[in-house]
Chains A and B, each alone.
Chain A
Amino acid sequence: MSLFNVFQVSSSAMTAQSMRLNAVASNLANADSIVSADGKPYRAKQVVFEATPMGSDGDLSKGVRVRQVVEDASPARMVYDPKNAAADEKGYVAYSNVNVVEEMTNMISASRSYQTNVEVMNTAKTMMLRTLTIGQG
């Protein structure tokens, strides 16, 4: 029953989208962070998706997996604040390079994609249940 592959494909997409949502959450939480664990300003994290063959039908069904998590290379946001303890000799503080607007749109896109995949899964479920009723009544 190759319809089971649809469940695998959709759930892989849901996992990938929730990882993306996770990255968005940590980016938004650290939007105003000055230092991260390594002592440098926090850098926004982005997930990179990749299509991967899934299930028994090889080429026919392709799922998604997160290939890697990359760090945003854009420069840190410099804010003039000489009173801050973390300010450099010119009085600038390096904040994280998180673009809040970008992260919000990312969040909406991820949740919509997640919902669509849930819907696809439900459709497959309806089809399978319908198949089970063949010959009844």
Chain B
Amino acid sequence: MASLSQELSVYSQAMNLRTQRHQLLASNIANADTPGYKARDFSFEKAMQNAMAGSNGGSIALATTSGTHLQGSGMSGAATLQYRTETQSAVDGNTVDMDVERSQISENAIQYQIVSQLISDTFKGMRTALSSTSS
């Protein structure tokens, strides 16, 4: 069963990161008219690699130097936020490009649905395997 939980942990990590990215892109779109707001994003590929490297190393918990420190989950640490390079500068210092944000958010939503489909398929495979042995 280790392989199933391992496989699912990859998917859930991907889903987590997709959710975080969706929040970030929604914030960018919400602040499309806010003066001085800088659009932010993170590279999903890099964040996923970081997360996988962390989980392979055994622990993704934050290092603590005292017993009174709180244990962070370390999940969101996988993604490093970066500012988007602007294509056209606005007078009010806002760097949100609506076209880019909208295409990215659509892409992100589709990728999220792909991951959820993959999880469903994994379960479906398990169920098929179980039903074939019981009959």
A residues engaging B (CB < 8 A)? 2-3, 5-6, 9-10, 12-13, 16-17, 20, 48-51, 55, 57, 59-64, 109-110, 113, 116-117, 120, 123-124, 126-127, 130-131, 133-137
> B residues within 8 A CB of A127?
19, 22, 109, 112-113
Contact with A along B25-59 (1 / 0, CB 8 A): 11101111111010000000000000000000000
Contacting pair B30 A13 (CB below 8 A) = yes
> B residues within 8 A CB of A6?
22-23, 26
Contacting pair A60 B20 (CB below 8 A) = yes
Contacting pair A51 B29 (CB below 8 A) = no
> B residues within 8 A CB of A131?
15, 116
Chain A: minimal CB distance from B40 (Å): 9
Contacting pair B22 A49 (CB below 8 A) = no
A-B pairs, top 10 by smallest CB distance, nearest first, are A13-B30, A49-B34, A62-B27, A61-B23, A6-B26, A123-B109, A9-B30, A9-B26, A51-B31, A120-B26
